[in-house]
Amino acid sequence: MKTNQAIRKIKNYSKIPVLALAVLLTGCEKDEDNDSAGNDVPAVEHDHEVITDVELIFTNDADSTDVVIASAVDPDGEGIEQLTIEDAINLDAGKTYTLTFGIWNKLEDDHDHDDHDDEGENIAEEIEDEDDEHQFFFSFPEGAFSSPAGNGNIDNASDAINYIDKDANGNNVGLSTSWTTSADAKTGKFKVVLMHQPGVKTATSGVNVGDADFELEFDLIIK
């Protein structure tokens, strides 16, 4: 995988008929197909999020004016371009930050409200509404953070991450997490994966359960 790209995968395969799924996997573009009896079968409707903008927002707990934002952008939504990293994550050593997310589909107009939101569709709000179906996972260099220690929970879901938010079942979400940088300078890669896990999310489910809404890898610089 290229480090400056993100992968978004189609979700909710469980609702797709078997024959239609076969059409999807072979990349067929036809408006309709035939079943075994020769009858027309309507084309499959794909249920997935369009994400054009992701922001990782690190706010210094001791100084709310000290905010570090690292972004990834996909200007053409479902077009040929993918989410592309725009910034490195530059953090100060020995500081505690709260990480939150801005996640948008800026190609979508919000027609449900009279006061039109120029920022488009707020996908982070949708994730919060469906938090029992979503979880963020992270990886980072060993020793980059004094808390959480280790190298993240992408390789092992039970490894330490300081989740602040929980879903209705008491399971971790990750729209808000806490990070204390090490006292020493450190560089490496900071990876975040948003998993969509409808009906299968548990206290122990990891990145091997469900489908990834996005997978992003940023340069991390602690100085």
- Which pLDDT does position 3 carry in this prediction? 41
Are both 129 and 33 inside the same structural domain? no
d(CA 149, CA 147) in angstroms, rounded, equals 5
- Which pLDDT does position 38 carry in this prediction? 55
- Which pLDDT does position 77 carry in this prediction? 67
Contact by Cβ (8 Å): 99, 56: yes
Amino acid in position 101? F
Are both 90 and 185 inside the same structural domain? yes
Are both 87 and 35 inside the same structural domain? no
The 3-state DSSP class for residue 31 equals coil
- Which pLDDT does position 108 carry in this prediction? 75
Q: Does residue 197 sit within a domain? A: yes
What are the 10-residue block averages of pLDDT along the chain, 223 residues in total? 40 39 35 48 48 97 98 81 93 98 86 54 96 98 98 97 98 98 97 97 97 96 98
pTM for the model stands at 0.76
Q: How many residues does the chain have?
A: 223
Are both 163 and 104 inside the same structural domain? yes
Provide the domain limits for residue 33.
13-42
d(CA 109, CA 38) in angstroms, rounded, equals 40
Contact by Cβ (8 Å): 214, 6: yes
